[in-house]
Chain A
Amino acid sequence: DQQVKQNSPSLSVQEGRISILNCDYTNSMFDYFLWYKKYPAEGPTFLISISSIKDKNEDGRFTVFLNKSAKHLSLHIVPSQPGDSAVYFCAASDGGYNKLIFGAGTRLAVHP
């Protein structure tokens, strides 16, 4: 039973354009959401997070949007750069046990 879903296994975007990565969840108890970026053979790097009391959080080129009614969040990267090419994982927490539940990941390729 996948509680966090990233339905797009891959995304290709032109350099300078916007990248939009999507994530859906099923557990209404989740109250904290995070995005991580991962290169092969490395640990994930924390990018940005959002609490369920907010619907948007911005940090430089990265913006996360949360739609609680739809149980959907998205990560926007503007402008996309070749160095953004990596696998992006969405994660959620219900706060109670501090565990993070990860999605399957979306591989982003930013091309010239």
Chain B
Amino acid sequence: GAVVSQHPSWVICKSGTSVKIECRSLDFQATTMFWYRQFPKQSLMLMATSNEGSKATYEQGVEKDKFLINHASLTLSTLTVTSAHPEDSSFYICSARDPGQGKDTQYFGPGTRLTVL
């Protein structure tokens, strides 16, 4: 299947700082990428849909000014958690849709564990 990478795999930061997470599709071009958040023992919560060359579409309740998404190329989307606070600590996962595969099949990155002190 298609390969999606994320960097970093884990990050610890101080409260008030900003953290950038990268998501790359390695062997295909992804016009659409997705950012999810997962709390312990819970399901994946879609945060936003990232479209190459246009603004991201945020889900209800997700602050777009806090979670900045940039999809600058067909293989890279970034999520920046601005002015991070301890409640932002979570597991962030990106996914990408491979147009060459099944209709809506998304391939996921390995995730990024964010801990805000």
Q: Are B46 and A99 in contact (CB under 8 A)?
A: yes
Q: Are B6 and A43 in contact (CB under 8 A)?
A: yes
Residues of B within 8 A of A105 (CB): 43
Q: Residues of A within 8 Å of B, CB-based: how many?
A: 23
Are A41 and B103 CB-contacts (below 8 A) given A98-B97, A102-B44?
A: no
Residue of A nearest to B111 (CB): A43
Q: Binary interface profile of A, 86-106, with partner B (CB < 8 Å = 1, else 0)?
A: 000100010101111111110
Residues of A within 8 A of B76 (CB): none
Residue of A nearest to B57 (CB): A97
Residue of A nearest to B107 (CB): A46
A62 close to B (CB within 8 Å)? no
Residues of A within 8 A of B110 (CB): 42-43
Residue of B nearest to A6 (CB): B43
In the assembled complex, the Cα of A104 lies from the Cα of B44 at a distance in Å of 8
B69 close to A (CB within 8 Å)? no
In the assembled complex, the Cα of A43 lies from the Cα of B103 at a distance in Å of 20
In the assembled complex, the Cα of A24 lies from the Cα of B21 at a distance in Å of 33
- Chain B, interface size category, equals 20 to 34
Are A89 and B43 CB-contacts (below 8 A) given A46-B107, A98-B49, A99-B49?
A: yes
A34 close to B (CB within 8 Å)? yes
Residues of A within 8 A of B (CB): 32, 34, 36, 41-46, 49, 51, 89, 93, 95, 97-105
Q: Are A44 and B104 in contact (CB under 8 A)?
A: no
Q: What are 7 A-B pairs with beta-carbon distances under 8 A?
A: A41-B91, A42-B110, A43-B93, A46-B108, A98-B32, A100-B46, A100-B106
Residue of A nearest to B9 (CB): A41
Q: Binary interface profile of B, 74-103, with partner A (CB < 8 Å = 1, else 0)?
A: 000000000000000001010101000011
Residues of B within 8 A of A95 (CB): 103-104
